[in-house]
A and B are shown apart, each in its own frame.
Chain A
Amino acid sequence: MAEKVLMKGNEAIAEAAILAGCRHYFGYPITPQTEIAAYMAKKMPLVGGVFLQAESEIAAINMVYGVSATGKRVMTSSSSPGISLKSEGLSYLAGADLPAFVVNVQRGGPGLGGVQPSQADYFQATRGSGHGDYHMIVLAPASVQEMASLTLRGFDLADRYRMTSMILADGTMGQMMEPVTFETGDIQPPPEKPWATVGTDLRRKHNVVNSLSLVPEELERQNFARYERYAQIEEKEPLWESYMMEDADICIAAFGIAARVSKNAITEARRRGIRVGMIRPITLWPFPRAAFRAAAEQVHSIISVELSMGQMIEDVRLAVECRVPVTLCNRAGGMIPSPEQVLCEIEKAAEKENCR
């Protein structure tokens, strides 16, 4: 087994990206994800890669577009306001069917907001973030180990489906250190990319990478084709963790740091005799709808624990189709719910549904 090392979540993403074969990083510094850029600045030159601090987030995402068009693995990272700036580029990447790996280590918003942890970019990430009909694959790590493993997975998924995959983390995940191992055994080489614009050697027709399509019939055909791919992803790629759900009467829905806090609350609630479990979405898009739909047949209520004014709760409600009540337990603006706050909501739900 590989050696356990202690790393910040941000550094684990950077190291995993290099292991995944990413040799091009473009970014612009912003708290709380700057360690990704700092790590890349140190390590990329040692592996023959490119680290470039762009003049802006917009420039960085367009550099990603350019490198991706040549078939190379490439990434950028930022935090909430920076991702808003990148959103035009994310839409263009989708329109051109280019793979890309993007990291958002969220901070409180809206606007310039603050620098403390947040999950308020859930809508932005899961609904595509830029204009037009498109999705990104959205991965939500809840440990430093997952910051690494979901980075490896993110590059694979991006290449396989020719689209952006995004890590949606938060300031806590980025800044905390935990032991992490890098299992290099499962790393797949990138697939062939016959569409890449790498020169024809006069042996084939030119490849064109573009998001402009002025004939509506053709643009519609592209959109439908893209959504057929999305349907496959929704069927094959949802990931989630079921935690103590076997006998649960109440279900917590939480991802990232909110799931970590919720585990403490669940431990204490169980000690008090309340059967509570958790479904932790690991992919936010595709959302693990089937897991929640199944839970709705079993539990009396669901509590969505979020660092936002309530965003994922909408997907939970859509998944359970009004079969059970879904309530919100939240903090916002850089604040994190405490285990006591989550426990209080669990007790309220247990009282109401008479399931203690």
Chain B
Amino acid sequence: MSTTSYLLSGFGGQGILFAGKFLAYKGLVEDKQLSWLPSYGPEMRGGTASCSVIVGDEPVGSPIVSAPDVLVAMNLPSLDRYEAAVVPGGMIVADATLIERKVTRTDVRAFYLPATRLAGEKGLDGLANMILIGKVLKECGGFCRETAEAALHKVISARHADKLQANFEALRLGASL
């Protein structure tokens, strides 16, 4: 019996909502209770984007994540804004290519991945988000190839099926770090 709340935040265009959808579909594949709530409105059009995801065994109450178990921060404003909100004992995964500072809190687990740089180097352009999610999966119970693939098949439409492999590689790269 456990529920995990995720808050994903970054610039519009970094794939925040997509990464959240992946987590939601992974929950669906695992027959969990879940909710996915995006930020919407003007900030989606080129400002900050954020996304609340809750996955667990019990029906989800409020879909709004104000105290996340897991924070994925893809830019500095996101870390500045949400670092304090993470529950004690929670986890912060930050894109170290774009965030120079460290997490100041000592009561959370912090991981720094140069995800944007790695994505560029490994031919996984635009997939820094999935590298970070790979790390999240690894630290939250382990990376499972089957559920990851099943969720990717659901979240990536048939029209974009050529993107499946790269997304999977990005997840696996993140999970190996």
Chain B residue nearest in CB terms to A6: B28
B24 touches A177 (CB 8 A): yes
- Chain A residues within 8 Å of chain B by Cβ, number: 23
Chain A residues near B60 (CB-CB < 8 A): 178, 260
Task: Return the CB mask of B24-36 against A: 1 if under 8 Å, else 0.
Answer: 1100100001111
Q: Fill in one digit per residue for B11-54: 1 if any A CB lies within 8 Å of its CB, else 0.
A: 00000000001001100100001111110111000000000000
Give min CB distance, B63 to chain A, whole Å.
5
Does A24 sit at the interface, judged by CB under 8 A?
A: no
Interface of A is mostly: mixed
Q: Which of A125-133, A168-176, A320-328 contacts B (4 or more CB under 8 A)?
A: A168-176
Point out the residues of chain B lying under 8 angstroms from A267, CB to CB: 61
How distant is the Cα of A31 from the Cα of B36 in the complex, in angstroms? 18
Instruction: Output the least CB separation between A307 and chain B (Å).
Output: 12
Q: Which residues of B contact A110 (CB under 8 A)?
A: none
- The docked-state distance in angstroms from the alpha carbon of A338 to that of B64 is 9
Partner of A177 from B21, B41, B64 at Cβ < 8 Å: B21
Residue of B33, B36, B41 near A176 (CB, 8 A) is B36
Please report the C-alpha to C-alpha distance between residue A157 and residue B13 in the assembled complex, in whole angstroms.
Answer: 43
> For the complex, is A336 an interface residue (Cβ under 8 Å from B)?
yes
Question: Is B66's CB within 8 Å of the partner chain A?
Answer: yes
Q: Is the interface of B mostly helix, strand, loop or mixed?
A: mixed
Q: Is A179's beta carbon under 8 Å from chain B?
A: yes
Interface size for chain B: under 10, 10 to 19, 20 to 34, or 35 or more residues? 20 to 34
B145 at the A interface (CB under 8 A): no
Contact A116 B28 (CB under 8 A): no
Residue on A with the closest CB to B59? A263
Give A6 to B151 CA distance when docked, in angstroms. Answer: 11
* Cβ–Cβ contact B28 & A4, under 8 A: yes
- Whether a CB of chain A sits under 8 angstroms from the CB of B101 is no
What residues on A are CB-neighbors of B40 within 8 Å?
A: 31-32, 115, 171, 175
Q: Check if A261 is an interface residue, CB within 8 A of chain B.
A: yes
Listed residue (B21, B60, B62, B66) with the most chain A CB atoms within 10 angstroms of its CB: B62
With A and B bound together, what is the CA distance between A190 and B38 in angstroms?
36
Q: Which of A31, A175, A264, A339 contacts B37 (CB 8 A)?
A: A175
Residues on A facing B (Cβ under 8 Å) = 4, 6, 31-32, 114-116, 171-172, 175-179, 257, 260-261, 263-264, 267, 336, 338-339
